[in-house]
Amino acid sequence: MASGTFLGWRFLTPDAGMKSAIIAAVSVLIIACPCALGLATPTSILVGTGRAADLGVLFRRGDGLQLLADVKAIALDKTGTLTVGRPSITSLYQSHDHVSELASLQSRSTHPIAKAMEAMARDSGATLMEVQDFRAERGRGVMGSIDGVIWRIGSAAMMGEAGISVPDVTGLKAASLIYVAKGNDIVGVYAVHDEIHPKAPALINSLKQRGIEPVMITGDQNAAAQAVADQLGISTFHAQTLPADKANLVKALQQSHGVTAFLGDGVNDAPAMAQADVGIAIGTGSDIAIESSDVVLVGGDPAGVLVAQKLAKATMANIKQNLIWAFGYNVVLIPVAAGVMVPFGFGMLNPMLAGAAMAISSICVVSNALRLRRA
């Protein structure tokens, strides 16, 4: 571009002389320097992610900002995300003392319900026993051999797959039921209650107001999921899902809604986070979930997703503003630097003024990006 300007002045307007050709070429070279364009995007992302970190939101990938700004649906886990993740356990049926076996098996699991059941058993005087052939079935339960006997702790589905009949328990619409089996016999039934997270109602309402469809996906039983969905006003939910099911449901949301996020905290949520356009992890959740995520809510507050989405939209808007300014600057000043205003009585653009204009353009872009610190 600078070479073309030089040749144009040199050969199309020979009376102008070599000095004018050089001044015009140098001015165009300075003005056309893409400093502002180069700063437009990374500066906004840097400031936006820094502001998010101040507010307890960690963006682990830069494109998470762009995707979160365009999100149309968000799938949410239940336990530890929409609920406080501190389940209370009530014994409904117990044929004999099995607290030591219960504690021994559940001590090998990291699930919040397992930890709550382990604590209950320890409070009842349980002592840990050696467990052999321990196996955890994600979304189902755990099993292992103690003193040569197979013990299972988990859902009705887990028991059914093992050919174990479970007793009919009615009147517990808001509770999850956990069964304990010794061999092929049910020796205990427990009801699990988990309180709604205090920030969850406002979170769901705000998502709806922003035009984002909330969908709850949980491995919990249908009755407990229905109770939480009713309390929070979630019209679509899926219960008794395995980790692979969660990922498939997220894929279906992507096909029906477009950009989809997943918010969760557990090991079982990792496949769904990997499938989602934006995986959002509760910072107090499992390490596997955090490693699978694009965004981490450091403080453990699920409502932090609203902060993250607001900052993402603000950052993308800021980037567009910077790009418009940078392109506009070049579109206007490159012709001026080339001397198109000379025939109208204006002088040549001094290279020093061109350098100052280039610096001012970069300063404007950076200053605009810094406005995100007040977002």
CATH for 285: 3.40.50.1000
Q: Are 187 and 210 found together in one domain?
A: no
What residue type is 183 in one-letter code? G
Q: Are 285 and 201 found together in one domain?
A: yes
- End residue of a domain, out of 272, 298, 324: 298
CA–CA distance from 286 to each of 41, 112, 239, 273, 278 (Å)?
A: 33, 10, 21, 13, 17
Please check whether residue 35 is in contact with residue 168, taking contact to mean a CB–CB distance below 8 angstroms.
Answer: no
Q: Are 170 and 253 found together in one domain?
A: no
* pLDDT tens-digit profile, the chain (375 residues): 555 555 555 555 555 556 555 655 666 656 666 666 778 888 999 999 999 999 999 998 878 888 999 999 999 999 889 998 888 888 777 776 788 999 999 998 878 888 888 988 888 888 899 999 999 887 789 999 999 999 999 988 899 999 999 887 765 555 788 999 999 999 989 988 888 999 999 999 999 999 999 999 998 888 889 989 999 999 999 998 888 899 999 999 999 999 999 999 878 888 999 999 999 999 877 778 888 889 999 988 899 999 999 999 999 999 998 888 877 776 766 666 555 555 555 556 666 666 676 777 788 888 888 999 887
Domain assignment present for 13: yes
Please tell me the predicted confidence (pLDDT) of residue 34. 64
Which ranges constitute the DSSP H helices of the chain?
2-7, 17-31, 35-54, 63-69, 99-106, 112-123, 156-161, 200-209, 222-232, 243-257, 270-275, 287-292, 304-338, 351-370
77 is catalytic: yes
What residue type is 340 in one-letter code? V
Domain that holds residue 206: 57-83+196-298
- Sign for the CA dihedral angle at 259, 264, 265, 268 comes to negative
Distance from C-alpha of 121 to C-alpha of 125, rounded to nearest angstrom = 7
CA quadruple 111, 112, 116, 119: dihedral, nearest 10: 60
Please tell me the predicted confidence (pLDDT) of residue 181. 93
Domain assignment present for 341: yes
Q: Are 221 and 280 found together in one domain?
A: yes
Q: Are 211 and 289 found together in one domain?
A: yes
Cβ–Cβ contacts within 10 Å for residue 182, how many? 18
Please tell me the predicted confidence (pLDDT) of residue 365. 85
The verdict on pTM exceeding 0.85 is no
Domain assignment present for 161: yes
Active-site residue, selected from the candidate residues 77, 194, 269, 301: 77
- End residue of a domain, out of 298, 325, 341: 298
